[in-house]
Chain A
Amino acid sequence: MRMLRWAGLAALALTVGATAAQAETVKIGVVLPFSGANADLGHQIDKAFDLYIKLHAKDIAPHKVEIIKRDEGPPTGAVAKTVTTELITNDKVQILAGFVFSPSAIALAPVVTQAKVPMVIANAGTAWITNLSPYYVRLSFSMWHPAYPMGAYAYDKIGCKTAAVAYTDFPPGKDSVLAFTTGFEKAGGKITLSIPMGSPVQVPDFTPFLQRVKDAHPDCLYAFIPSGAHATGIMKAYGELGLRKAGVKLIGPMDLIPDNKLQDMGDAAIGTIVMGHYAVDLDNAANKAFQKEWHQAYGKDSYPDFMSAAGWDTMHAIFDTIKKLNGKVDDGAKFVDAMKGWSADGPRGHVMIDPATRDIVQDEHAMEVIRKPDGKLGEKIVGTTKAVKDECKVLKLGRCGS
C-alpha cells in the first residue's frame, strides 16, 4: 500500500514538475512611436496591447509573455531598424509587434527575413508591405481596404457622379487616393480634381485647399489625412467653408473620423460618410466588451479607435498562435504558418488572416455620422461589404504584384 502511495506521489510530482518545466516565456518586442509628433498613434495601440495582455494572460497559461517596449522614433525607418535589430540580436525577442509607420516596416524587411523573426504589423498601411518579407503578418489594414470599396459605394449608393480627391502629400495619402480612384472609376465615376495637401508633419491650414474644392463643385470630396490633429483640422475647415451646404458631400476612410476626436468635431461632421472597419458604435458583442474594458481601464473620456482595435486583434492573434504552438515559438516560419488562416470575432467583427498574402481580411462598413439621442456624435452603419481583401494585391497593381 505504502509503495503504491509513494509511486502515486512520485508520478504526481513528476507530472507537475514536467508541466512546470514546459512553461515558456515568450519575449515580444513592441515597437511603437512613444514620443514625437505621432506619439498619440503609438499610445492608442499600446493601450490596446496592455489591456489585452492584462485581461487574457491566463489564456496562455502556464506560458507567459514578456514585453519589451521600444520607441519607433521618427518615420525615417533608421531608428526603427536599429532598435528592432537590437531587439532581435540583443534581447532575443521571438516575436515583433507594432510598427505604425510604413517606412519602418519597409526598412525592416531584409532584417526580419534574415533573422527569421515573425513581425506582426499593427498599423503600417502601405499595400505592398506584406510582400516584402514572408515573415510579415499584418493585422491592421492596407490603404486599399477602406478606400477601394468606398469608390464603388460612393458612386452606387451615395450618388456621387463626380468627385474631388484631397490627400496629405505622402505615400499613404497617394495610396488611398489611388485605391479610391480605381474603385470609383470602375463603377463609372469621374475624378475632377486632385489636391495634395502638404506634408504630414504639420497640420496645415486646410482652408485654401478646401476653397479650391468648393470652387470646382464636385458631388463629393474624398479626403485622406493622417488620423489625429489633421482630422479635426479638416473637419473644422469643411464646416467653416459651408461645403456641405454647397452640396459637396464629405467621404473618406475612417482615418477621417478617429473615434477619440469625433466629439470635438461638432456639427460639421454630421452627414459625413466614411468607409472603415471599426467604429466605437459598431454593434457586436466583442466590441461592447472591448469598450467596457477600455473605459474601465482608461476612464470614460478615453475612446479606442481603429488602431486600438487593430492592436487588440494583433495581441489576440499572437496569443492564439502561442497557445496553438504550445509556447514553442522559436521557429519563426512555423509561427507565421500557424498564424495564417487565423480568424476570430474581434471588435471589428469577423477578421481573418489571408493565408496567401498574410494580410488581414475584414468587413468594411459604410458609416454615417449622426447625432445620437444622448446628444453625442456617433456613427451609424449604412452598408457593409463583407470579407474585404486588399484589392491592390488582388489586382496586382504596381508594387503589389511583386
Chain B
Amino acid sequence: MSDIKPRDPAILDARERGADYLVRRHYFRWTEALPWLIAIACFFLFPNRMTFGNQVLIMVMFALSLDLILGYAGVVTLGHAAFFGVGAYTVALASLRLGWSEPISGLIAGGLLAGIVGAAVGWFIVRYRGLTLLMLTIAFAAMLQESGNLRSDLTGGYDGLPGLMFDPLLGYFQYDLYGHTNYWYVLVVLAVVFYFVRRIVYSPFGQVLTGIRENVRRMHAIGSPVHRRLVTVYAISAAIAGVAGALFTQTNAYVTLTVFDFDNSAKVMVMLILGGTGRLYGPFLGAAVYMILEDYFSKLSPTFWQLGIGLLLVLAVLFARRGLLGLAEDARGWFAAKERDKERRSSAPRRLVWKREHWTALGSSALDGAIIGFIAGFAINMKQIELMTAFVTGMPARALTFTLIGAGIGAGINAIYLLITSRTSVEEQAS
C-alpha cells in the first residue's frame, strides 16, 4: 500500500468505503433477523405443518453445511449425504445398541463422528477438483451405503432401525404427534450452528476459503496452507451435515440406509444453488423454496410434480443465474440502471429494420416449432384426444398438420419477439 495520499477525492472516498466495508461486514444487519422471524411466525401461523417444518429446517442446516464447502471454499461435492448418514446412524445405533438416548449429547456425538470421518476422507480427496472430486464423493457415499447393507444385521438395511426411543429434551420436553417440541429443538440447534458458521465466514479463515475458491494458485503462492485449510473446512462441513442427520433421526425416530442416497446429495446441492451459493442465507431461501414448492406440486399432482420442479430449475438457471438471492441483487441493480439510462435514452421513434439474420432467426424458430408440433401430433395420437383431432385422421396426416401449425406458431412468436425487442431508433441505425 502506498503512503502517498492520492489527491483525487473520488479515489480517497472509494478506499475509505472499501475499508469501512471490510470492518463492518460482520455486523448484524436488521434484515438478518427476517428468516428467523419468519421461522418463528410459521410456528404460530401453521401449527399443523410442523412435521414438514422440521424437515425444511433440517434441510436448511444440511444445505448450510454444503454452502461452507461448496459456496465458500469452492469444493464441489455430490456425496454430502454420506456425512448426513453418519450422523443419523450414530444417533440411531447409540440409542439402540448402547442404550444412549439423551438427545443433545447424541447430537454432539453424531456431529463429532461425522466430522472425524469428514477429516479422514477430506484429507485424501480435497486435492482433487472437478469431475474427479465429484465421482470420488459419490463413490464414497455409495460405498458407505453398500457397506451398511452388507452389515444389515447392524443397520437394519433398507428397512432401517425403527422404534428408536429418545429421552425428553433437557429431561422435560416431550415429543408429540404434531412435532411442536421438535420444531423448537431443531430451530434452536439451527440458530446455534448458524451463528457458528457466520463467525467462520466473517473470520480471516473465511477469507482464506474465499481466496481458495477464487484463485487457489495465488493462495499457494502467498504461502497459505491450502490443503490444511480445506481439510478443516471439509471436516466442519461434514460435522454440521452430521448434526443435521442426527436431528433427522431424532425427529423421525427412524432411519434407513436411504439417507445415504445419491438423490439426497443431489437434492441438497440443487437447493443450495437455487438459493445462491456463497451466501449465508442462500441455503435458507433455496431449501425453503424447494421443499415448499415440492410439497405444493406433489399435492397438486402426485404423479407429475417433477415437471413443476424441473421447470423451476430450468427457469432459475435461465433467468436467475446466481440463485434467488442473486436475482434479488440483480433486480436492485436493474432498477438503478434504468434510472440512470432514463436520461440518456433518446425520444426518437423506433422501428424494426429487417436484416438477414432476422430471417435465420425466424427459420430457426419455425424449425423448433415444427419439431414441437410433430411431437405434439405424435403425443396427441397416443392419447387419442378426440376434440383436437376431429379434423384430421390418421397418424401421418395428423403429424404433418401439427408440424406445419407448429412451424407457423414458432415463426410467429419469434416475429413478435423481434418486433418488440429489436427496434432501433434512427440514431442507432446511423451509427
Contact = CB atoms under 8 A, between A and B. Distances in A.
A39 B51 contact: no
The listed residue with most A CB atoms (<10 A of its CB), out of B162, B179, B248, B252, is B162
Nearest to A103: B256
Contacts of A102: 159
Nearest to A35: B303
Interface in B241-260: 248, 252-254, 256, 258-259
B422 interface: no
A101 to B, nearest CB: 9
B177 A114 contact: yes
Interface string A83-117: 00110111000000000001100110111001100
Contact of B158 (A82, A90, A103, A111): A103
Contacts, number: 101
Interface string B300-316: 00111110000000000
A32 B303 CA distance: 10
Nearest to A43: B303
Interface string A206-223: 000000000000000000
Nearest to A126: B159
Given A71-B305, A85-B177, A78 B159 contact: no
Given A77-B252, A107-B254, A200 B158 contact: yes
Contact of A106 (B49, B52, B149, B254): B254
A75 B51 contact: no
Interface string B146-159: 00010010001111
Contacts of B177: 85, 88-89, 111, 114-115
A112 B222 CA distance: 61
A284 interface: no
Interface in A191-246: 199-200
B259 A76 contact: yes
B128 interface: no
Q: Give the bracket for the number of chain B residues in contact with chain A.
A: 20 to 34
Contact of B55 (A78, A90, A126, A132): A78
Contacts of B176: 114
A34 B163 CA distance: 27
Interface in B157-172: 157-160, 162-163
B299 interface: yes
Contacts of B258: 74-76, 103
Given A74-B263, A86-B51, A170 B159 contact: yes
B388 to A, nearest CB: 21
B52 A107 contact: no
B299 A70 contact: yes
Interface string A106-149: 11011100110000000000100000100000000000000000
Given A78-B252, A89-B178, A199-B149, A106 B159 contact: yes
Nearest to B56: A82
A34 B51 contact: no
B61 to A, nearest CB: 15
A109 B159 CA distance: 14
A180 B140 CA distance: 35
A171 B162 CA distance: 13
A110 B253 contact: yes
Nearest to A107: B254
Contacts of A161: none
Contacts of B306: 35
A13 B51 CA distance: 47
B48 interface: yes
A81 interface: yes
A69 B301 CA distance: 9
A89 B50 CA distance: 10
A103 B252 contact: no
A281 interface: no
Nearest to B157: A171
B364 interface: no
A77 B160 contact: yes
B298 interface: yes
A185 interface: no
Contacts of B302: 32, 34-35, 69-71
Nearest to B54: A82
Contacts of B178: 85, 89
Given A103-B159, A169-B149, A170-B157, A90 B252 contact: no
Contacts of B102: none
Contacts of A77: 160, 252, 254, 256
Contacts of A75: 158, 256, 258
B162 A82 contact: no
Nearest to B291: A82
A107 B162 contact: yes
A63 B84 CA distance: 47
B261 interface: yes
A106 B263 contact: no
Contacts of B256: 75-77, 103
Contacts of A89: 48, 51, 177-178
The listed residue with most A CB atoms (<10 A of its CB), out of B51, B55, B163, B305, is B51
Interface in B272-311: 298-299, 302-306
Contacts of B299: 70
The listed residue with most A CB atoms (<10 A of its CB), out of B159, B163, B304, is B159
B381 to A, nearest CB: 16
Nearest to B160: A103
A85 B258 CA distance: 20
A221 to B, nearest CB: 22
Nearest to B142: A199
Contacts of A82: 51-52, 55
A43 B149 CA distance: 28
B254 A81 contact: yes
Given A82-B55, A86-B48, A111-B177, A35 B298 contact: yes
A174 B158 CA distance: 11
B304 A81 contact: no
Nearest to B304: A35
A132 B259 CA distance: 22
Contact of B52 (A71, A86, A103, A109): A86
A231 to B, nearest CB: 19
Interface in B300-352: 302-306
B115 to A, nearest CB: 23
A73 B263 CA distance: 12
A322 B306 CA distance: 35
A35 to B, nearest CB: 6
B184 to A, nearest CB: 17
A257 B305 CA distance: 31
15 contacts: A32-B302, A35-B302, A39-B303, A43-B303, A70-B299, A75-B158, A76-B261, A77-B252, A77-B256, A86-B49, A107-B162, A107-B252, A110-B163, A126-B159, A132-B163
Interface of B: 48-49, 51-52, 55, 149, 152, 156-160, 162-163, 176-179, 248, 252-254, 256, 258-259, 261, 263, 298-299, 302-306
Given A75-B158, A76-B261, A103-B258, 13 more contacts: A32-B302, A34-B303, A35-B298, A71-B305, A77-B254, A82-B52, A85-B51, A89-B177, A111-B177, A132-B162, A169-B157, A174-B157, A199-B149
- Of all A-B residue pairs in the complex, the 9 with the closest CB atoms, nearest first, are A34-B302, A171-B159, A76-B258, A71-B302, A170-B158, A106-B162, A34-B303, A85-B51, A107-B254
